[in-house]
Structure 1
Amino acid sequence: MSRIDDLIRNLCPDGVEHKTLGEVGEFIRGNGIKKSDFIKQGYPCIHYGQIHTHYGISAAETISNISPEQAIRLQKAQPGDLIIATTSEDDDAVGKATAWLGTTPVAVGGDSYIFRHSMEPKYVSYFFSSTTFSQQKQAHITGSKVRRIAASSLSRITIPTPPIEVQHEITRTLDRFIQLEAELEGRQHQYAYYRDILVAPRSPRESVKLGEVSHIARGASPRPIRKFITNDNGIPWIKIGDVPPQGKYITTTAQHISTDGAEKSRQIKPGDFILSNSMSFGRPYIAKINGCIHDGWLVISNYEKTFDPDFLYHVLRSSPIQNGFAQRAGSGTVRNLNSRIVSETLVPAPPIDQQREIVHLLYKFDLLVNDLTSGLPAEIEARRKQYEYYRDRLLTFPEKK
């Protein structure tokens, strides 16, 4: 960080001027792109939902296109502009931005703003991801179920405006953190490739329909659920938030339901698999507790005659199975993975002794890559926290008097 410190001492010894976003640029509302408008080839475009799910601090290519005839009518981001998603159900995601670094303009859909400004593009995008920006925007977010922020409110948020040389150096430093995290995640992709090869069926005869060798059912929710939530010796009520993103087992829950509620729900036992059938659908977890699942889950049980549980876990996590779930769950705004889809899924089922050999081969590699305390996820999380610390530190300046 010494070069940045030297630049600040030399170029702005009396502090850094803070300006409102409205003083350093203008906000232009995007318009009129639906997912149904996408075509394979055409004019590049960015839909606000893709800012939440696909794009990071910056982008130089798009994943979607629309017809040139439609593009004529739409607002365009120019190279260097920010594209900002202005709506979400999650406050943290409101105002998420990406700097457009492509060589040509890009069409921008509704629920987005284009921010045309006079600063280093990625510096501004990093600012939009910072704690300082998050704290300032919170007072301006409106709406109940759908949360949003207006251009007039964004215009009042203040940003430090150090000399452009400082902006460039801060960007280069933060880029290095992002690159390191990407390299670590690349090692996880290597593991996934190795796992997919090991669990792949050796012949068509080795595959079976999952529903023929196990019992698959949907969860159930007693309604209204608030009547059945209890703190007194109830039965664990399993929700998405109870399972860590990179975890394998369900060991505890934040809430419990009464025995009356459990009778109207779907009860599971240790060893059962559960899969989310909507958000993050298809991601498997293994229960280590007795509990109940709502209708956002599927349960796989009674598989033990055919599968070693660890082998089945690797199979369900494999790319061919996950991609198959994604394709068959539909391409609409809300995807749904139902019990029929899972039951009809072909999965490899070699003899159990071979399954255990494969599990043993994957064990040490899995420990290195996926262990939450000592493997890559722990290292990635440490690097992410380090990045967030330095991002907020580097984007905080004494204000010029």
Structure 2
Amino acid sequence: MSSENFLGKRLDGVEVEWTVLGDERFVEVANAARRPVKASLRVTGDTPYYGANNIQDYVDGYTHDGEYVLIAEDGSASLESYSIQYATGKFWANNHVHVARGKRGLNTRFLYHYLRIVDFIPYLPNKDRSKLTKGEMLKIPLPIPCPENPKKSLEIQAKIVRILDAFTELTAELTAELTARKKQYNYYRDQLLSFEEGAVEWKFLEEVFDIFAGGDVPKDALSESETEEFNIPILSNGIGDKSLYGWTDKAKIEKPSLTISARGTIGWTSFRDRPFFPIVRLLVLTPKIRLNLKYAYYFMKTIENNYKVSEAGIPQLTKPMIKDIKIPLPCPSDPEKSLAEQARIVAILDKFDALTNSISEGLPREIELRQKQYEYYRDLLLSFPKLEEVDA
């Protein structure tokens, strides 16, 4: 039976009672046992130590034991997709999460899935702060299907949980597989870019590339969206789409190049194979010798976390800081053989890169699709008639 048919059949004519998280018939709030501990004072152990968004540490001892839902009190990474966590067994909760669980008549896992579709913003002070007080949390509406028949209500809740858990388990398996593939990719990348002494020639970056920093934004020719006239991307620091500042009508860099974030995401290296316009917070490396640019890109990715930046003022990279970094070029005595070896390495790493990092193919795409599928069914299965609809 499809999820849609299940929902329609099981809820056809079934009443839904709208109550709130503060209803002690259904919800137990276990905040009293929470206890924050500074990192320097924590005793290392096997118990997960939960903060607002995730497990922050593993400690000795515990504050709670059982099945609970953790709702961020403050510090949620996102207000639109509010931080809701599920914890079982022994765990330690600090004071940045509210701790709650279902009583008889409410499946705790059902509560977890339901809270993930709740809009928490109306319950935050002034609607612009991420502090969710206990008093406000207790006002959040909670649907109880078939309240006059607790057994049937729990059956409905359990069925919904089984459907949604199937999607989350699949996503978790794919995520674990992606993590393993990334480790495999990093291993082979490091192996392929590790050379025996004498097998490569190490050249300074300034010998291989023209290096310069991005300039000012072309304010007289700037568009927020791509048009027929403004079709040249304006790039700054950032990862992926976050590096896109806007669009202009004339490229500053015509040749394929590498870019390195000079601020914020310091060291993040990107391969650019179309004309673009670089602006501040970005360093550009354009080849001035024959080499496979993708090979250089893969090597630069191995060192992007190793840059030394000044601790005075705003941390940033500059040309003088990177010009003396060395890059290995294989088969130095035979330029054609060197290019062939670079191409061989690139072909291998491209396959791993497509599998692990591409948004249009490989595991990341599959995970994205499964997550969207979960969200679709979650919204479908948990979209009960609203309070005003029930009253009508």
TM-score between both structures, scaled by the size of structure 1: 0.68
- Indicate the residue corresponding to 1:254 in structure 2: 246
Deviations 1:368-390 (A, max 9, x none): 55544354433332222111101
Cα deviation for residue 20 of structure 1 reads: 0.9
Counterpart secondary structure, 1:125: helix
1:104 maps to amino acid: K
Counterpart secondary structure, 2:90: coil
Are 2:295 and 1:311 aligned?
Answer: yes
Q: Which of the two has higher C-alpha Rg?
A: 2
Are 2:71 and 1:84 aligned?
Answer: yes
- Indicate the residue corresponding to 1:59 in structure 2: none
Distance 1:126 1:150 in 2: 21
- Aligned match for 1:154, one of 137, 145, 153: 137
2:292 maps to amino acid: D
- Aligned match for 1:290, one of 267, 273, 276: 276
Q: How many residues are treated as equivalent by the alignment?
A: 352
1:197/1:6 CA distance change after superposition, 3 Å: closer
Cα deviation for residue 220 of structure 1 reads: 6.5
- Indicate the residue corresponding to 2:50 in structure 1: 46
- Indicate the residue corresponding to 2:20 in structure 1: 20
Deviations 1:6-39 (A, max 9, x none): 6985698523322211112336375544455556
Distance 1:34 1:221 in 2: 44
Are 2:174 and 1:190 aligned?
Answer: no
- Indicate the residue corresponding to 1:115 in structure 2: 100
Distance 1:268 1:89 in 2: 36
Distance 1:139 1:201 in 2: 54
1:221/1:109 CA distance change after superposition, 3 Å: farther
Distance 1:104 1:229 in 2: 59
- Indicate the residue corresponding to 2:158 in structure 1: 168
Are 2:348 and 1:357 aligned?
Answer: no
Write out aligned runs for 1:118-129 (5 A).
Answer: 118=103, 119-129=106-116
Q: Which moved more, 1:112-121 or 1:187-196?
A: 187-196
- Aligned match for 1:381, one of 368, 380, 385: 368
2:80 maps to amino acid: D
Deviations 1:42-92 (A, max 9, x none): 7642222xx1xxx4xxxxxx5514576xx8xxxx34421222223346422
Cα deviation for residue 392 of structure 1 reads: 0.9
Counterpart secondary structure, 1:182: helix
Cα deviation for residue 201 of structure 1 reads: 1.1
Paired-residue identity, %: 22
1:200 maps to amino acid: L
- Indicate the residue corresponding to 2:333 in structure 1: none
Write out aligned runs for 1:191-270 (5 A).
Answer: 193-194=184-185, 196-198=187-189, 199-203=192-196, 206=200, 208=202, 211=205, 213-214=208-209, 230-231=222-223, 236-239=233-236, 243-244=240-241, 253-254=245-246, 270=255
Distance 1:283 1:306 in 2: 24
* Structure 1 unaligned residues grouped into runs of 5+: 56-61
Counterpart secondary structure, 2:159: helix
* Structure 2 unaligned residues grouped into runs of 5+: 146-152, 331-337
Deviations 1:187-209 (A, max 9, x none): 57426514641533132554858
Distance 1:376 1:42 in 2: 31
Cα deviation for residue 127 of structure 1 reads: 1.8
- Indicate the residue corresponding to 2:150 in structure 1: none
Write out aligned runs for 1:315-334 (5 A).
Answer: 315-317=299-301, 321=303, 324=306
Work out whether residues 38 and 66 of structure 1, in 8 Å CA contact, stay in contact via their aligned partners in 2: yes
1:177/1:32 CA distance change after superposition, 3 Å: same
- Indicate the residue corresponding to 2:285 in structure 1: 301
Work out whether residues 187 and 369 of structure 1, in 8 Å CA contact, stay in contact via their aligned partners in 2: yes
Distance 1:373 1:125 in 2: 31
Distance 1:341 1:169 in 2: 59
- Aligned match for 2:170, one of 180, 185, 193: 180
Cα deviation for residue 240 of structure 1 reads: 6.1
